[in-house]
Chains A and B, each alone.
Chain A
Amino acid sequence: MTAAELFLQQFINGLTIGSVYALIALGYTMVYGVIQLINFAHGEVFMVGAYLGLMVLLLLPPSPGGVLTALLAAGTGCALLGMLIERVAYRPLRRAPKLSVLITAIGVSFFLQNAMMLLWGAQDRYVPACFSPGRLGGGAVSITPMQAVIFAVSLFLMIALQLLIHRTPLGRAMRATAQDPLAARLVGIRVEGVVSSTFAIGSALAGVGGVLFGLHYSTINFHDGYLVGLKAFTAAVLGGIGNIPGAMAGGLLLGLLEGLGAGYLSTQWKNVFAFAVLVLVLLFRPRGLLGERVAERA
């Protein structure tokens, strides 16, 4: 293996987990964009998505069609879950201090974790393999079919999201609400509906990310949402929280940093390396890589 091949392989490794971080980071950043809430239950939505996907894969034969159904089911299920969480836990507290909502979010997170533990048990669950374990392409660098699926699905969803935000009436309403909820209301936008849709879209992306995560690492557990959620949150901050391309870039960058840190320095130090870069970025760009330089509102 030459140095260039080694680097390329490490790049692919980092990009794989980075794509999953990016999908989850989008939900954090979109919700923060419209209501300035760090939704700490978002990591748990990702975990519920992984279990929804597992449920479908246990019912259907392990095939590409089964995976597509699992992705759709997890996306839809998590979208509904996200809307429900917003309606039940956050909307009643819309005028309450920000800290109350934050604590509620942590409460929702514990509720979902324990609910899934009681439903599925505390053990690791095995996700059946749905793609041949071979690889694509020749040479010393290997990409598994599963990695290709992760790249393809993430890329498709990110492009679709960009189109939705910039080309549709809903996207325009979301951007307007993010800029100024009061003005948006004044021009006739149903702000509560927009907030609800934002939760639905962000949660659907997390749900899809959960299924991909489960398929790639073949085990899921009720506490998987915690660390992955924290990493995705970091990615959102790294890219500039509230900024959608920033979350995508932040996720991919965090994955790459972890991968290269583990590959070239030491696995023990990979989180230290990734978070040291986060601190450095925030020192020089406190609003993240793509964050706006000035405050949007007083």
Chain B
Amino acid sequence: MAPLQAAHLGQYVDDCRTEIWYTLNMADNLPHLAIAGAARICAALLFLAGCGQAEPAIRIGFAGPFTGDQAAQGLDMLEGARLAVEEAVSRGGVLPGFRIELVPMDDQRNPAQAVSVAKRLAADPNVMVVVGHLNSSCTKPASAIYYEARLLHVNPVSSNPEISRQGFDTFFRVCATDDLQGPAGVRFALEELKAKRLFILDDMTTYGRGLANEFEKAARAQGLEILGHEGIAQGEKDFSPLLTKVKSLGPDLIYFAGMFPEGALLIKQKSELEIPAHFLGGDGLFEPTLITLATPRAAEGIYLTTLGADIRQVPSAQSFVRAFEAKHGHLGAYSSYAYEATRLALEAVRRAGRKDRAAVLAAMREIQEYDGILGVHTFDEKGDTTLRTIGIYTVRKGKFQFVQAAE
């Protein structure tokens, strides 16, 4: 009886928490909160008095996890989107007569929360485009809501191939997909690490399970021996029983498709149990916090595949990297994807020339050979980019180091 009540109340409290969090964090700075509030009231009063020049707003929704264990990645992405909007505004705006507002929405990496956030964005007539979500498990159900609302949806990093196979003409994404990432990981494991006996782990999410299945399919096609494929739950912390079992089977490579909080604990506990196998992961591990959480000693020499080449080696991305680092000190792993997706979204609004969802969507369909920071994007009929590079990274001395790019 009690846990049931707790669960219902829990949902309610989650909603309240989101509200509190916005109030406190979405104003740029806590001390400025009062000033910002006062300024907003003044603006409203001026508007009411009829002597203000407040322009109507075009809103860009940005959805991702800003609280919870994946907040580090979500907030780095939000900063990428912010930078894209700020640059567009400083260059004189996107549409004459309209100001651009970025609306951050926290999905807490929870699919149910993602749907509720998507509905709020879809119901706001000022929202012309949504950029987001991080997790495929959030992007997939949310994409259906944007489709029904005829709202352009540009996705930065959800790599599950099923999302674009749903037939939603509102969906576009700027990253490569897991039907490329899985096989690229297998090729690296086979050719560079000479692995023959594999154990596969995933986090049972749309992303993790999807990527792990692509990896397993490719590994079987190459004739590699799969000792087992098991799922772990997000939010779990103790993987030592599972890893002990893996150790007793003696694989020469452990593959994990999932996100960095669980990945870090797997890497740490694998090292504590002294399992001599290689560790290879997917792009969900590509986050510097992984190395801190796992400890640099345990993370040394792990490998991971990422969506796209090393951003620091792409010439077109250098001004972005400099601008971002000047502002935030460090570059988040997914910041560039969020920046790219937001810039594309703004480009669609600019080309549409008016505040109208159908026009923005039509304009996005016209964009071909878009010269972005990740490369030149052309979108196929499913909305996927033609950029299909997969990067391989390792950890050396507590830092991610680029190894090679695989097509």
Q: Are B298 and A133 in contact (CB under 8 A)?
A: yes
Cβ of A38 under 8 Å from chain B: yes
Which of A123, A133, A230 contacts B3, CB < 8 Å? A230
Q: Are B297 and A133 in contact (CB under 8 A)?
A: yes
Q: Are B20 and A124 in contact (CB under 8 A)?
A: no
Alpha-carbon distance A17/B230, docked complex (angstroms): 21
Q: Are B268 and A218 in contact (CB under 8 A)?
A: yes
Q: Are A123 and B9 in contact (CB under 8 A)?
A: no
Q: Are B240 and A221 in contact (CB under 8 A)?
A: no
Cβ of B319 under 8 Å from chain A: no
Total A-B pairs in contact (CB under 8 Å)? 123
- Max chain A C-beta neighbours (<10 A), residue from B5, B271, B273, B298: B273
Q: Are A142 and B272 in contact (CB under 8 A)?
A: yes
Which of B2, B5, B20, B289 contacts A38, CB < 8 Å? B2
Cβ of A40 under 8 Å from chain B: yes
Cβ of B69 under 8 Å from chain A: yes
Stretch in contact with the other chain, from B139-147, B243-251, B393-401: B243-251
- Max chain A C-beta neighbours (<10 A), residue from B24, B204, B236: B236
Q: Are A106 and B6 in contact (CB under 8 A)?
A: yes
Cβ of A164 under 8 Å from chain B: no
What is the 8 Å Cβ interface bit string for chain B, positions 286-324, against chain A (1 contact, 0 not)?
000100110101100000000000000000000000000
Alpha-carbon distance A114/B16, docked complex (angstroms): 10
Chain A nearest Cβ from B407, distance in angstroms:
34
Cβ of A267 under 8 Å from chain B: yes
Give chain B's interface secondary structure class: helix
Q: Assess A110 versus B13: contact at CB under 8 Å? Given A219-B261, A263-B244, A267-B241.
A: yes
Cβ of A262 under 8 Å from chain B: yes
For B250, the chain A residues whose CB sits under 8 A away are: 1
Complex interface residues of chain A between 1 and 29 (CB less than 8 A to chain B): 1, 6, 9-10, 13-14, 16-17
Q: Which residue of B is nearest A262, CB measured?
A: B241
Q: Are A258 and B9 in contact (CB under 8 A)?
A: no
Q: Are A217 and B298 in contact (CB under 8 A)?
A: no
Chain B nearest Cβ from A66, distance in angstroms:
17
For A226, the chain B residues whose CB sits under 8 A away are: 10
Chain A nearest Cβ from B361, distance in angstroms:
34
What is the 8 Å Cβ interface bit string for chain A, positions 230-272, against chain B (1 contact, 0 not)?
1000000000000000000000000000111111101110100
Q: Assess A129 versus B295: contact at CB under 8 Å? Given A40-B6, A122-B21, A227-B235.
A: yes
For A221, the chain B residues whose CB sits under 8 A away are: 68-69
Which of A14, A110, A126, A259 contacts B292, CB < 8 Å? A126
Q: Are A262 and B242 in contact (CB under 8 A)?
A: yes
Q: Are A264 and B245 in contact (CB under 8 A)?
A: yes
Cβ of B239 under 8 Å from chain A: yes
Q: Are A217 and B71 in contact (CB under 8 A)?
A: no
For A14, the chain B residues whose CB sits under 8 A away are: 241
Range of interface residues on B (Cβ < 8 Å): 35 or more
Q: Assess A219 versus B231: contact at CB under 8 Å? Given A38-B2, A122-B67, A124-B261.
A: no
Complex interface residues of chain A between 253 and 298 (CB less than 8 A to chain B): 258-264, 266-268, 270
Chain A nearest Cβ from B227, distance in angstroms:
14
Q: Assess A267 versus B242: contact at CB under 8 Å? Given A114-B17, A135-B274, A142-B274.
A: yes
For A144, the chain B residues whose CB sits under 8 A away are: 272
Q: Are A133 and B69 in contact (CB under 8 A)?
A: no
Chain B nearest Cβ from A7, distance in angstroms:
10
Cβ of A96 under 8 Å from chain B: no
Chain A nearest Cβ from B344, distance in angstroms:
28
- Max chain A C-beta neighbours (<10 A), residue from B5, B13, B71, B244: B244
Cβ of A189 under 8 Å from chain B: no
Q: Are B71 and A122 in contact (CB under 8 A)?
A: yes
Q: Are B248 and A267 in contact (CB under 8 A)?
A: no
For A262, the chain B residues whose CB sits under 8 A away are: 241-242, 245
Which of B9, B230, B274 contacts A106, CB < 8 Å? B9
Alpha-carbon distance A263/B3, docked complex (angstroms): 27
For A9, the chain B residues whose CB sits under 8 A away are: 244, 247, 273
Q: Are B69 and A123 in contact (CB under 8 A)?
A: yes
Chain A nearest Cβ from B255, distance in angstroms:
15
For B292, the chain A residues whose CB sits under 8 A away are: 126
Q: Which residue of B is nearest A263, CB measured?
A: B241
Q: Identify the B interface with A (CB < 8 A).
A: 2-3, 5-6, 9-10, 13, 16-17, 20-21, 24, 66-69, 71-72, 204, 230-233, 235-242, 244-245, 247-248, 250, 261, 264-265, 268, 271-274, 289, 292-293, 295, 297-298
Question: Which A-B residue pairs are the 4 nearest by beta carbons?
Answer: A122-B67, A262-B241, A263-B241, A13-B240
